[in-house]
């Protein structure tokens, strides 16, 4: 039963992140990347604090390994979002999608080395199919991108972003033995709020008088729906679901749902923006969904952490 809940949590966070790309693209027309990151995580941190104050979530950090928790927060959200934000700005969409699509395979490798989580042959096949599906969908969808957009620094930053996500999955899985999903999510939201808030303030002071450092009330109101979605759903809910799934699934089995985000993003583009859906994308979608199903088809070697 706990494994089923872990799978449902994986589907949940992939769905939320899938729509977040459209929301982010729209909101970045009003806010700078650092302003958006600061706003979403400050809102998320305040929301988590309200839940804790009302007694709706229980937090207890006393006597626990805060070093491990801090390391987890450094990897995600701080390092991941900084590397991803500036990596995407220096690389074509296809390059970004392929590099980040390798996440589940890298998590499986690190999970075996650090957590000693064994991956069965069928689970490895599922991971490979899922990554192949991402390559097909992203390269076909982005075949019009100018590869000239991609600079070496972009590839380097995106690779660092993917590795940060890998290390976060490993750290969160390890931290699950002592910290509940709510405790891990609370720490992540406040680390993001403080880090990106400070960075956005420095950016604002350094670009005094220039847009979008100083915005009108109208621009803030226009950005509010996007900030609410990214702060409450894409940050609080989605990261809670990630931490929850990492409590009940192997790191590689949880991470493979990240590739489902590609499917949701494409579907959102087709339904909401009228984008075309080509046969190659359909094949890639089938491979992603099939790969996720195969990777999570066997409970062998899955040890659910009790008490969380």
In the chain, what are the domain boundaries? Answer: 2-295
**Per-residue pLDDT at 114 exceeds 60:** yes
**What's residue 45's pLDDT?**
97
Which range is least confidently modeled, 43-52, 167-176, 256-265? 256-265
The residue-averaged pLDDT of 279-294 equals 85
**What's residue 226's pLDDT?**
92
Confidence class for position 80, pLDDT limits 50, 70, 90: very high
pLDDT digits (tens, 9 = 90+) for 191-210: 999 999 999 988 888 765 55
pLDDT digits (tens, 9 = 90+) for 147-156: 456 678 888 8
**What's residue 68's pLDDT?**
94
**What's residue 144's pLDDT?**
53
Average pLDDT, the chain: 83
Confidence class for position 215, pLDDT limits 50, 70, 90: low
**Per-residue pLDDT at 9 exceeds 80:** yes
Confidence class for position 302, pLDDT limits 50, 70, 90: very low
3-class SS letters over the chain: CHHHHHHHHHHHHHHHHHHHHHHHHHHCCCCCHHHHHHHHHHHHHHHHHHHHHCCCCCCCCCCCCHHHHHHHHHHHHHHHHHHHHHHHCCCCHHHHHHHHHCHHHHHHHHHHHHHCCCCCHHHHHHHHHHHHHHHHHHHHHCCCCCHHHCCHHHHHHHHHHHHHHHHHHHHHHHHCCCCCHHHHHHHHHHHHHHHHHHHHHHHHHHCCCCCCCCCCHHHHHHHHHHHHHHHHHHHHHHHHHHHHHHHHCCHHHHHHHHHHHHHHHHHHHHHHHCCCCCHHHHHHHHHHHHHHHHHCCCCCCCCCCCCC
Q: pTM of the prediction?
A: 0.81
**Per-residue pLDDT at 179 exceeds 70:** yes
């Amino acid at each position: 039963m706990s494994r089923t809940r872990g799978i449902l949590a994986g589907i949940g966070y992939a769905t939320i992140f899938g729509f977040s790309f459209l929301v982010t693209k729209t909101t970045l027309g009003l806010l700078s990347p650092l302003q958006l990151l600061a706003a979403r995580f400050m809102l998320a941190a305040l929301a988590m604090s309200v839940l804790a104050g009302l007694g709706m979530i229980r937090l207890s950090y006393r006597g626990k390994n805060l070093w491990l928790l801090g390391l987890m927060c450094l990897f995600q959200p701080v390092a991941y979002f900084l590397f991803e934000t500036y990596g995407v700005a220096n690389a074509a969409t296809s390059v970004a999608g392929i590099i980040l699509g390798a996440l589940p395979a890298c998590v499986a490798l690190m999970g075996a080395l650090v957590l000693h989580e064994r991956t069965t042959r069928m689970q490895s096949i599922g991971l490979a199919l899922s990554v192949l599906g991402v390559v097909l969908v992203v390269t076909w969808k982005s075949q019009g991108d100018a590869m000239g957009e991609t600079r070496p620094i972009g590839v380097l930053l995106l690779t660092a972003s993917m590795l940060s996500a890998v290390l976060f999955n490993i750290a969160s899985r390890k931290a699950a033995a002592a910290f509940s999903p709510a405790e891990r999510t609370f720490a992540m939201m406040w680390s993001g709020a403080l880090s990106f808030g400070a960075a956005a303030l420095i950016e604002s002071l350094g670009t005094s008088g220039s847009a979008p450092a100083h915005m009108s009330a109208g621009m803030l109101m226009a950005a509010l729906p996007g900030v609410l979605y990214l702060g409450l759903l894409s940050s609080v809910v989605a990261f809670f679901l990630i931490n929850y799934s990492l409590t009940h699934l192997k790191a590689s089995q949880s991470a493979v749902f990240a590739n489902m985000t590609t499917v949701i993003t494409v579907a959102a583009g087709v339904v909401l923006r009228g984008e075309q859906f080509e046969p190659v994308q359909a094949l890639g979608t089938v491979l992603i969904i099939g790969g996720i199903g195969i990777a999570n088809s066997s409970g062998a070697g899955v040890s659910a952490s009790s008490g969380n």
